[in-house]
Chains A and B, each alone.
Chain A
Amino acid sequence: MSIRKYFEEELNALKLALVKMCRTTEEMIDGAIHALIMQDTVLAKNVIEMDPDVDAMELDIEKKCLRFMLRQAPVAKDFREVSTTLKLITDIERIGDQASDISELVVHLAERKCRYVKDLQHIERMGKLAVKMVHNSVDSFIRNDNDLAMETARLDDEMDELFNVVMDELIELIKKDSQNADQAIIFMMITKYLERIGDHAVNVCEWTEYNETGVHQKY
């Protein structure tokens, strides 16, 4: 095998591991939201159990990246790809943590066996949006698609808007009846986690842009 081919294969394996990690976190977010809606403690606990997997994947990719840098001493585009991967996994791992945190709150809610004080329409939309953002951001890196990255970063505005809407709703709920406060606070935290996931996805998009252009800038 030629050296370059070996090199490319190592890089491809790295990307594949990244995609796998990303898909797992997507499933975690999706599962967390689904568990919230269905009050499904089993699903929520499944999601929590997936978090160590994501952590292990991060460690594995990190090790692979460092070894690749050490052994192959990549330059230019190759260097950017490896360094970007190294940065991306931190964000993706954080996303996994948030999804796990949401699931813990879901378990907390479901164990009280109570009816939700609020309809979950907006939170569900935020969850779908978060999955889409995470998916598209990593996809844009894998496919070297800068336009997709920019488009995904812009989705964060919608996420922020939804966050504000849900926050207003929750404030209203608490004002109406202080009995709602304990659930409202949990919903608030879930919403905040989802909003943070959106921010992490934007980070991924920024790194994708760096990978393409060599310039790292904050949106």
Chain B
Amino acid sequence: MTKKMLWRTFLIALLAAVIVLAAGIGVISFQASNTQKRELEVDANLIAQLWDGDVASLETLRPHADLRITVINISDGEVIYDNTAEVDEEHLTRPEVQAALNGQPQAFVRWSETMECTMYYYAVRYGEEQVLRVAVRQSAVTDYVLSLLPFTVLALGLALLISYLVANRSSRAVTQPVKDIQLSLRSLNQGSYVPLRCDSSNPELYAVMTETDELFSKVNENLKKLQDSRARLSFVLDNVSQSIVAFDRDGTVTLINRAAMSLFGVNSSALGQNLLYLIEDNKLSRKISQVLDGGGDQHFEYELRDHPLNVDLIDVAKYEADVKMIMILTDLSAEKLAIRQRSDFFANAGHELKTPLTSLQGMSELLLEKEPADSPNRKYVERIHKETVRLNDLILDMLKLSSLEQASADEAVQAVQLSAVFQDISAEFAGQMEQKGIAYTQTGEGKIFADPKKIYTCCENLFSNAVRYNKQGGRVEVVIENFPQSVRFSVRDTGIGIEQKHIPRLCERFYRVDKSRSKNTGGTGLGLAIVKHVCQIYDAKLTIVSAPDEGTTVSVTFKK
């Protein structure tokens, strides 16, 4: 910029100097030639007046040595006299001679063959016979210019020097503020902002600089704030136990916290990479892609490399422009471990209780056999026996429940024919049903893939409830239905029914609708809890529909 400005000013100065010089020379030479012509005229007229007609006396009339005098005879054009050279040529046709003859004498400039230089010519008529011509060399004009040359060169040099200095100064006055702004901008970019020094003498530039400084300071402040809040955010994110990853629309990782890095076994280089490199599990990455494609939020439990996780995929596009989705993974290992420990405790305690109970039961049976029917103690022994059996049932159910809690869907899976299962169960309960006068009907059939033992336990519990809480002379119906995507079986009874308010809590352990009733009907209070667990294992759906005094229908729907 400075260079360009310098050159421009320099060239303009040079151009001006050359124009002035050329004009000066032109004017001077014009003036000089005019002066010369006039002098020539004056000289010629003077000589013509002073001359006596004698050729020899002409020499004395010459005012200076440079003057050339020629006398021409009008009649034949012969040169009668010439003080510089012998001339034989006919001179009548020369323009100055013609002009003199016409009575309008005029000066002419012409190249002279005789003198071999450019000359001014002027002629006057002398008498009737002759023409007097006077000529002078033009070289005198260029002498003027030559004598001026050193001064003009000096002046030119001076002009250029001054123009250079001025241009330099003025260009710097413009470029310095721009340079300052540039430096300031660079410092802002590099993160260590140096405030702009506003010191331009140019009011417009000064205004620009102050405005720029204000803007830069504001940007710097906002940048600092942004960095601070980002640092705070990453501090918080890195210290939570959940794994948090944010993705943009293309599935590129835009944020990942420390927990997520250790979960996926990557370092911060995962930032800016595609999710496929981060998540090697195709099912999970496909779910993420679904959310990224606008499929809506998803929440589910997922097992990633033996880590039980709670996965939340949240579409945040409406809050954030560059983040499409955040994924929050909560490690459920500790929770699962706690559940496991609790059920382990259940199992161990159950086993420990079972041994003494078995002997208690055996002893009470022995006592019952030995005790005569009319003995007053028999009542107590009978009571002991009954309670022992109940306690035993309870412990068996507890053990079943805890074993179900640890079971997984993949164990001992085979095809189970539901109709066969219910036939077996109904045979088992035939005695009890006969006692209460209950009619049994079974329709449909269906096959599911599961552990037959678990399915048997589940169905047995439902069936025993249907029998236990039935009225005298009631009915039990089992319906097995096949749907394209699922298999459902329902156990319907015509029993006492359950009030609506109890239904949500029915599957809790030891929950009783009527505390006083439990002792009459038997049962442990764990039946439905067991059913619920079996359903959970196979991802089946449990629905209970009931109306007091009309009966209850429990349906279990297995996915195919």
Contact A113 B447 (CB under 8 A): yes
Confirm or deny: B73 has a beta carbon within 8 angstroms of a beta carbon on chain A: no
Complex contact A23–B410 (CB within 8 A): no
Query: Does A10 lie at the interface of the complex (its beta carbon under 8 Å from any beta carbon of B)?
Result: no
The number of chain A residues touching the other chain, given as a range, is 10 to 19
A142 touches B277 (CB 8 A): yes
Residue of A nearest to B450 (CB): A38
Residue interface bits B271-285, CB-to-A below 8 A is 1, else 0: 000101100101101
Residue interface bits A10-50, CB-to-B below 8 A is 1, else 0: 00000010011001101100000000011110100000000
Residue B142 is within 8 A (CB to CB) of chain A in the complex: no
Q: Select A37's contact among B276, B283, B410, beta carbons within 8 Å.
A: B410
**Which residue on chain A has the smallest CB distance to residue B559?**
A42
A153 to B283, CA, bound (A): 26
What's the nearest-Cβ distance from chain A to residue B301, in Å? Answer: 18
Q: When the two chains form the complex, which single residue of A26, A39, A135, A139 contacts B449, counting CB atoms closer than 8 Å?
A: A39
Q: Which residues of A contact B277 (CB under 8 A)?
A: 19, 142
- Pair A37/B414 contact, Cβ less than 8 Å: no
Which of under 10, 10 to 19, 20 to 34, or 35 or more describes the interface residues of B?
Answer: 10 to 19
Give how many A-B residue pairs fall within 8 Å (CB-CB): 31
User: Given A23-B285, A39-B415, A42-B560: A16 and B447 within 8 A (CB)?
Assistant: no
Given the known inter-chain contacts A38-B413, A40-B449, A115-B414, please indicate yes or no for A135 contacting B280, CB distance below 8 A.
yes
Q: Are A27 and B276 touching (Cβ within 8 A)?
A: no
Contacts of B415 in A (CB 8 A): 39, 113, 115
* Residue among B277, B282, B413, B449 with the highest chain A CB neighbour number at 10 A: B282
B residues in contact with A115, CB < 8 Å? 414-415
Q: How far is the CA of A142 from the CA of B274 in the complex (A)?
A: 13
Is the Cβ of B413 less than 8 Å from the Cβ of A37?
yes
Q: Is there an interface contact between A23 and B449, defined as CB atoms closer than 8 Å?
A: no
- Rounded to whole Å, the gap between the CB of B83 and the closest CB of chain A is 88
Residues in chain B near residue A139, CB distance under 8 A: 280
Interface residues of B in 485-512 (CB under 8 A from A): none
* Distance (whole angstroms) from the CB of A21 to the closest CB of chain B: 10
Task: From the candidates A23, A40, A42, A113, name the one contacting B276 in the complex (CB within 8 A).
Answer: A23
User: Are A20 and B560 within 8 A (Cβ)?
Assistant: no
Some 24 contacts from A to B, beta carbons below 8 A apart, are: A16-B274, A16-B276, A19-B274, A19-B276, A20-B276, A23-B280, A23-B282, A24-B282, A26-B282, A27-B283, A37-B410, A37-B413, A38-B410, A38-B413, A38-B449, A39-B413, A39-B415, A39-B449, A40-B449, A42-B560, A113-B415, A113-B447, A115-B414, A142-B277
Excluding A19-B276, A23-B280, 6 further A-B contacts by CB distance (< 8 Å) are: A16-B274, A27-B283, A37-B413, A113-B447, A115-B414, A115-B415
